[in-house]
Chain A
Amino acid sequence: MNQFTFESRYRNVLIGFMALGLLCLGITFAIDDELHTRFWTNYLHNSVFFTGIAFMALFILAAFTTAWAGWHTLIKRIWEAYSLFLVPGLVLMLVVIAGVWGHFHHLYHWADAGEVAKDPILQGKSSFLNPTWYTLGTLIIVGIWILFAWKMRQLSVDEDVNGTPEFKHHHRLRIWAAAFLPIAGFSSAAIIWQWVMSVDAHWYSTLYAWYTGASWFVSAIALTILTIIFLKGQGYLENVTAEHLHDLGKYLFAFSIFWTYLWFSQFMLIWYANVGEETVYFFERRENYPVLFYGNLIINFIAPFFVLMRNDTKRKYGTMVFISIVVFFGHWWDFFQMIKPGARHTAMEALAHHGAHEGAGHAAETTGHALEFAMGFTIPGLLELGTMLGFLAFFLFVVFNRLSRASLVPKNDPYLQESLHHHVEIHGDEGH
């Protein structure tokens, strides 16, 4: 079957999960502290995570198209559909922006004018970390991404009808793809500083954008594997074989290690230099969030490293489903540990100021001895999981909707034959 139909049974399941997500967000809002820190951190966490996956899908498409890759042609419609989630992703981030202007949340230390006035470090960064730039940066950067996602999708779908066996039509796609790469490189770093790194507004790391980007990349690949295996189970993508899965498995393996490399490089330089302004980030996590801190490495490095190391595990559907779920969850966990501690700290300081006259100043004691355990901060709770499933269902709803709008197989892509005959395993049989 070359045409995906977004049947009502998929639709109903996804709507059910979206309702679950909304319910979880609602419960979180109701039982939250007075600043609704848990609600807003969950919202930011999932919005950033899934918008980033959409961006990475576009980046993968652009990189592969520029590199003359052919093997992925049969699955490129999935990435195109992913990349179109950038539009709802921008809407999700607009809610965070509205919160910055309206002071609905205390996610960002720098967004509080009163705090900035008495904080020289925040004043020094205020030319970048301010509500105007946060808004403009998000609008301009995600706007450009949407433009490229829309244009590359349009050219690709147009190729189904007007494509030629020569590269004439495909060449236009290549130009857009190549133009996107440098833009993606610089703009993703800037948006990561604003959306995620500025949660810890005093702290900065030059490796942070790469590390976060690698996390997005691995999540995007893991989700791609799961989507492909799901679609194959439904009778679609019959020409996608273990050979394509094998290559995706290599990406999952390689970029899990790449992520670990960046995580460790960032950690080791800060640990070695031992400058207080920098170590505070890791000190906070290691002392007060040890499950997040060590769990992150186990799920995202140890597990994929040993499971995916062997050749044959990358070709087994069951193993790939298992490790993709583990790694996808693991990188969601990674974003959780990036956002929660900093935002919690900011909120506790704000709460301490609010409640100072009521004698509730104990919340500001964040160093010296361990923070209290708090579900939804120290570890993700069931509400966080439910929220994640809701966002995932929303993501897949948009993706399936987009998938159903065009042929699953790009008919006139000049690389289609290469993808149909893709063969990586030297010991495998010639026939499929």
Chain B
Amino acid sequence: MSKESKDVLYGLFDDEQILLNAVDRANDSHLDIMDVYTPFPVHGLDPKLGLAESRLHIAGFVYGAIGTLTAFLFMTWVFTRDWPIIFGGKPYWSVPAFIPITFELTVLFASIGMVVSFYTVCGMAPGITNPTLDDRITDDKFCIAFDVTGADEAAKDKLKDFFSQSGASEVNMKTI
């Protein structure tokens, strides 16, 4: 993640179907899309952008498994080695009694691990503000953005033509 500022040319679309068609058109004319921003997940967009499936859930499984082992092995150690206590006449190593806590720690590790991973991968943390191109992309606008840092006017004109042909409702420049 470079700290240098980028010049971004972006177009806003009113509808997801127009956006999907525009992405197809950009792919056909070999335009290099920097990113696409949508207010909600758009079905079928990921394959068009060539995005691989997220591996977050694999990480989630691993975190969950770590949570399971942590809880189970820790309780096993505590109740058989470190501080054995008899509760209600049960054996020291009472597996059924461990299950609820094992479950809770599995969920806790998986959820916290996934949140932290997700934030790290996205470069988000408390106190960090990421610039948005336009606030309306979190509301009702769909945006295709091109990185035009150092590009000449002809290239920019080509992109503007693309936007006007593919039905963008607005085209703007922003340095982020």
A267-B96, A268-B96, A268-B99 known; A274+B88 contact, CB < 8 A: yes
- Give residues 411-430 of A contacting B (CB, 8 Å): 423, 425-430
Q: Is A264 an interface residue (CB 8 A)?
A: yes
Binds A, one of B41-49, B129-137, B162-170: B41-49
Please name all residues of chain B whose beta carbon is closer than 8 Å to the beta carbon of A429 when the two chains form the complex. 44, 47
The answer for the CA separation of A264 and B47 in the assembled complex, in Å, is 42
CB distance from B42 to the nearest CB of A (A): 9
Q: Is A271 an interface residue (CB 8 A)?
A: yes
Q: Is B57 an interface residue (CB 8 A)?
A: yes
A274-B88, A311-B57, A423-B43 known; A430+B20 contact, CB < 8 A: yes
The answer for the CA separation of A311 and B57 in the assembled complex, in Å, is 10
| Partner of B44 from A264, A274, A428 at Cβ < 8 Å | A428
Contact A430 B43 (CB under 8 A): yes
Query: Which residue of A272, A425, A426 has the most chain B CB atoms within 10 A of its CB atom?
Result: A426
Interface string of B19-57 (1 = CB under 8 A from A): 010000000000000000000010110110000010001
Please name all residues of chain A whose beta carbon is closer than 8 Å to the beta carbon of B97 when the two chains form the complex. 268, 272
Q: Is B150 an interface residue (CB 8 A)?
A: no
| Partner of B88 from A272, A425, A426, A427 at Cβ < 8 Å | A272
- Give residues 72-95 of B contacting A (CB, 8 Å): 88-90
The answer for the CA separation of A284 and B61 in the assembled complex, in Å, is 36
CB distance from B23 to the nearest CB of A (A): 11
CB distance from A258 to the nearest CB of B (A): 13
Please name all residues of chain B whose beta carbon is closer than 8 Å to the beta carbon of A271 when the two chains form the complex. 96
Please name all residues of chain B whose beta carbon is closer than 8 Å to the beta carbon of A309 when the two chains form the complex. 61
Please name all residues of chain B whose beta carbon is closer than 8 Å to the beta carbon of A311 when the two chains form the complex. 57
The answer for the CA separation of A271 and B88 in the assembled complex, in Å, is 10
Query: Which residue of B43, B90, B100 has the most chain A CB atoms within 10 A of its CB atom?
Result: B43
| Chain A residue at smallest Cβ distance from B42 | A426
The answer for the CA separation of A425 and B53 in the assembled complex, in Å, is 11
CB distance from A360 to the nearest CB of B (A): 37
| Chain B residue at smallest Cβ distance from A424 | B43
Tell me what chain A mostly uses at the interface: helix, strand, loop, or mixed.
loop
The answer for the CA separation of A430 and B48 in the assembled complex, in Å, is 10
Interface string of A239-275 (1 = CB under 8 A from B): 0000000000000000000000000100110011010
CB distance from A189 to the nearest CB of B (A): 25
The answer for the CA separation of A27 and B99 in the assembled complex, in Å, is 44
The answer for the CA separation of A234 and B57 in the assembled complex, in Å, is 36
Please name all residues of chain A whose beta carbon is closer than 8 Å to the beta carbon of B41 when the two chains form the complex. 426
Please name all residues of chain B whose beta carbon is closer than 8 Å to the beta carbon of A268 when the two chains form the complex. 96-97, 99-100
Contact A264 B43 (CB under 8 A): no
A274-B88, A274-B89 known; A427+B53 contact, CB < 8 A: yes
The answer for the CA separation of A423 and B42 in the assembled complex, in Å, is 11
Query: Which residue of B44, B46, B53 has the most chain A CB atoms within 10 A of its CB atom?
Result: B44
Please name all residues of chain A whose beta carbon is closer than 8 Å to the beta carbon of B89 when the two chains form the complex. 274
CB distance from B64 to the nearest CB of A (A): 10
Contact A426 B43 (CB under 8 A): yes
The answer for the CA separation of A338 and B20 in the assembled complex, in Å, is 54
CB distance from B172 to the nearest CB of A (A): 28
Contact A272 B96 (CB under 8 A): yes
| Partner of A264 from B53, B57, B61, B99 at Cβ < 8 Å | B99
The answer for the CA separation of A274 and B57 in the assembled complex, in Å, is 40
The answer for the CA separation of A425 and B54 in the assembled complex, in Å, is 13
The answer for the CA separation of A111 and B47 in the assembled complex, in Å, is 65
Please name all residues of chain B whose beta carbon is closer than 8 Å to the beta carbon of A274 when the two chains form the complex. 88-90
CB distance from B157 to the nearest CB of A (A): 31
CB distance from B54 to the nearest CB of A (A): 9
| Chain A residue at smallest Cβ distance from B58 | A310
The answer for the CA separation of A423 and B61 in the assembled complex, in Å, is 25
- Give residues 390-432 of A contacting B (CB, 8 Å): 423, 425-430
CB distance from A428 to the nearest CB of B (A): 7
Please name all residues of chain A whose beta carbon is closer than 8 Å to the beta carbon of B44 when the two chains form the complex. 428-430
CB distance from B160 to the nearest CB of A (A): 27
Interface residues of B (CB under 8 A from A): 20, 41, 43-44, 46-47, 53, 57, 61, 88-90, 96-97, 99-100
Could you show 18 A-B contacts with beta carbons less than 8 Å apart?
A264-B96, A268-B96, A268-B97, A268-B100, A271-B96, A274-B89, A274-B90, A309-B61, A311-B57, A425-B43, A426-B43, A427-B46, A427-B47, A428-B43, A429-B44, A429-B47, A430-B20, A430-B44
- Not counting A426-B41, A430-B43, a sample of 19 additional A-B residue pairs whose C-beta atoms are within 8 angstroms of each other reads A264-B99, A268-B96, A268-B97, A268-B99, A268-B100, A271-B96, A272-B88, A272-B90, A272-B96, A272-B97, A274-B89, A311-B57, A426-B43, A426-B46, A427-B53, A428-B43, A428-B44, A429-B47, A430-B20
